[in-house]
Amino acid sequence: QFDPDNTGYISTEKFRTLLQRHGSELDPHKLEVLLALADSNSEGRICYQDFVNLMSNKRSNSFRQAILQGNRRLCSKALLEETGLSLSQRLIRHVAYETLPREIDRKWYYDSYTCCPPPWFMITITIVEASTLVAFFLYNGVVLDRFVLQVSHPLYLKNALLYHPQLRAQAWRYLTYIFMHAGIEHLGLNVVLQLLVGVPLEMVHGAARISFVYVAGVVAGSLAVSVADMRAPVVGSSGGVYALVSAHLANIVMNWSGMKCQFKLLRMAVALICMSFEFGRAVWLRFHPSAYPPCPHPSFMAHLGGVMVGITLGVIILRNYEQRLQDQTLWWIFLSIYVIFVLFAIFWNIFAYSLLDLKLPPPP
């Protein structure tokens, strides 16, 4: 109607007139972003596809850049100042302020989030991890008449899930070791961290991105052990958990002035204390003499592998909310480094153990 020549554009003056005429019919957040779009355009015209992208909650990189240049129009009223919200709306707003550094992203997320699908990945993986450990504990107690959760115990090592250097040819163990933990305190700390950090991140960034960071951290963790601590087994989901938490903390530090979450300093301190306590426990356990020699205690290198994934791939994924990562140069650089490390670790596992003639602990 307003583009009779079918050019795909209308003038910014006509666009502002339409917004003034029909602004009361629009969501106030979308109206603000539309005004920002009009203000940011230096060519004096508005692209129809940009308008469609905004109204359908889709964004391209070029459109995002145009909106960010007009971000001054979004400072009139922060999402945090809105009153009369329901409990679910306050929860969504809280998650937005906990994870996103820019007001435009918070408002976009608040408007578009429908809880469909829910954060199923982190909840499911947590339930499976806890259920597997409990089931294994009960199996040892009832069938084998020995309740045991000690990783170096021969009964604990006799399962098809944890990573063991003698069984490194069984490739699934590089991933399934997350379902076995060194004890209740090990499982408890990992569950608390991945629920408190992972669920909000999944609500914002989606299951695909968060599951990628989590699984990449898990695989990097077991491969790091196979390269740097070649005689030790591995248990626990710390690789994936540390990837998520370190990415989230690094994102907060990099965007400190924009993060408006309450008690952000306290939250960082608590997360760092929990991570340090769990990592310190793992280091102490690794070098503590085993009660069942020659079976060693599990390695702590998986934690460091997860941290490295978090501060590289994880930071890129969390920084680029609702953007195509395929267009990000740094994303491809870090992804290439990760793939090179995985390939190097695979060849290391094939050839290095025999070339170095290591004396490995006996197979379970």
Write out the catalytic residue numbers: 238, 303
What's the CA gap between 106 and 104, in Å, rounded?
A: 5
**What span, in angstroms and rounded, lies between the C-alpha atoms of 40 and 44?**
9
Q: Are 190 and 238 in contact (CB under 8 A)?
A: yes
CB of 95 within 8 A of CB of 204? yes
* Cβ-count burial 95-116 (b if 16+ within 10 Å, e if not): bbbbbbbbbbbbbbbbbebeee
Q: Is 72 helix (H, G, I), strand (E, B) or coil?
A: helix
CA angle 256, 262, 265 (to 5 degrees): 55
As given in the structure block, the two tokens for residue 92 are: 């969504």
Q: Which residues does residue 10 pair with via DSSP β-bridges, in sequence order?
A: 46
Q: What's the helix, strand, coil split of the chain in %, to 5?
A: 70, 0, 30
Phi, psi of 163, deg, nearest 5: -85, 130
Burial of 231 by CB count in 10 Å (0-12 exposed, 13-18 middle, 19+ buried)? middle
- Rounded to an integer, what distance in angstroms lies between the CA atom of residue 19 and that of residue 109? 22
In 76-154, the DSSP E strands lie at none
Q: 313: which DSSP letter?
A: I
Tokens at residue 65, please? 């850049």
Residue 118 CB contacts under 8 Å (≥ 6 apart), including other chains: none
β-strand partners of 47: 9
Q: How would you write 166-191 as a 3-class SS string? A: HHCCCCCHHHHHHHCCCCHHHHHHHH
Nearest to 114 by CA among 43, 22, 204: 204
